[in-house]
Amino acid sequence: MEGERRHISMKELKKGGYVLIDDEPCRVVEIDTSAPGKHGAAKMRVTAINIFTSSKKTLVKPSDASVDAPVINKKRVQVVSITGSNAQLMDMETYEVFELPMDDEIKGKLQPGAEVEIIETMGKRAFFNM
């Protein structure tokens, strides 16, 4: 799983899509494009949120530049148990059991036996759309 990425053009980025900024997977929340100038191509300013730390990141590049995008795998998992600030989860396809940390917002939404969605990329996992 480590290093799963693909090369795309800045023009291919869409709101809600994913891009690597400082080698960290981020979800695009805003894209601003400037008009092409007298001496160069249009510039794109991409604002994104790190999917693991929720920190805000910004990327500014010409619209014809290429960037890396992470390969995102979405999976359904079942909540096996909740212990403190960790949820024990089971992959519904492979039956692998693993733990993920939860913040207070997610903790209130999870119940043992419930099915939830997670994302996997760059060797890490996180809750998705919670």
For the chain, the helix, strand and coil percentages under 3-state DSSP, each to the nearest 5:
5, 55, 40
For the chain, give every domain's residue range: 5-70, 73-127
pTM summary value: 0.80
Q: Which CATH number fits domain 73-127: 2.40.50.140, 1.10.3720.10, 3.40.50.11810, 2.60.120.380?
A: 2.40.50.140
**pLDDT (tens digit, 9 = 90+) per residue, 19-60?**
999 999 999 999 999 888 777 778 999 999 999 888 999 999
Residue 3's pLDDT is what? 54
Q: Are 49 and 62 in contact (CB under 8 A)?
A: no
- Is the domain spanning 5-70 CATH 3.40.50.300? The answer is no
Domains 5-70 and 73-127 agree in fold:
no
